[in-house]
Amino acid sequence: MVLAIAALFLQFAPATHVFADVNSTMPIVKTATADTKSDAAKPAALTSSVDAATGNAVPTAFTLAKLEGTSQHGQALETIRVPDPTPAKPVKIIMAETRPRKAWLILSIAEHSAATFDAYSTRVAVSKGAAEADPMMRPFAHSPAIYGAIQVCPLVLDYAARRMERSQIGLLRKTWWVPQTAATGIFLFSGVHNVGVANSMR
């Protein structure tokens, strides 16, 4: 009887050990439920939507990322404030074309004509025995070269008036006509004086 019980123990003991080893090595399979975290981590690339701009099918995950990125960028652009540029002092440039050249030409013609009249009257007065009072014109008083020499001053004044007309200084720009007008008056006065001297020496 004792031997039979011992034989039974010897037969069941390895079987129990085998079952224990089998249970320890067998993988445990768990059934997934609908609210587990593994389903939440699944990629959503299986569902797709149509992009309105391109007309191509775009996965839902990418569409959401695109919308989120756009909203973030939109907020970032809205928060950017560009400072207003500091107003600089405007520089007023007066071009030569904005001024009437007709007045300058008329004054130039009048000035050169008055200088020619002065030279002619000087020649007439000197031919009748008068002496030239201007030391600059005295060397040319007895020759026709006085007509060319007397035009040097009007040419210089014409250039000065033209420069004053283009000047950025308001006072010079407004009084550009003064040199030509003054020279014309002086030449006319000298011519009339020379005519009076020539008439008095008859």
Give the per-residue pLDDT at 201: 80
Give the per-residue pLDDT at 96: 47
Tens digits of residue pLDDT in 132-163: 888 889 999 989 999 999 999 999 999 999 99
The domain limits of the chain are 111-200
- For the chain, the straight-line distance linking the first and the last C-alpha, in angstroms and rounded, comes to 190
Number of CB atoms found within 10 A of residue 44's CB: 12
Task: Kindly report which listed range (25-34, 83-92, 123-132) carries the lowest average pLDDT score.
Answer: 25-34
**For 125-131, which contacts have Cβ atoms below 8 Å and span 24 or more sequence positions?**
125/194, 125/195, 125/197, 125/198, 125/201, 128/198, 128/201, 128/202, 129/201, 130/194, 130/197, 130/198, 130/201
Distance CA 25, CA 27 (A): 6
Query: Is 101 a residue whose pLDDT tops 90?
Result: no
Give the per-residue pLDDT at 95: 55
Tens digits of residue pLDDT in 180-190: 999 999 999 99
Percentage above 90 pLDDT, the chain:
37
Query: Is 92 a residue whose pLDDT tops 70?
Result: no
48 CB burial (10 A radius; 0-12, 13-18, 19+): middle
What would the two tokens of residue 30 be?
Answer: 């768990």
Query: Is 69 a residue whose pLDDT tops 90?
Result: no
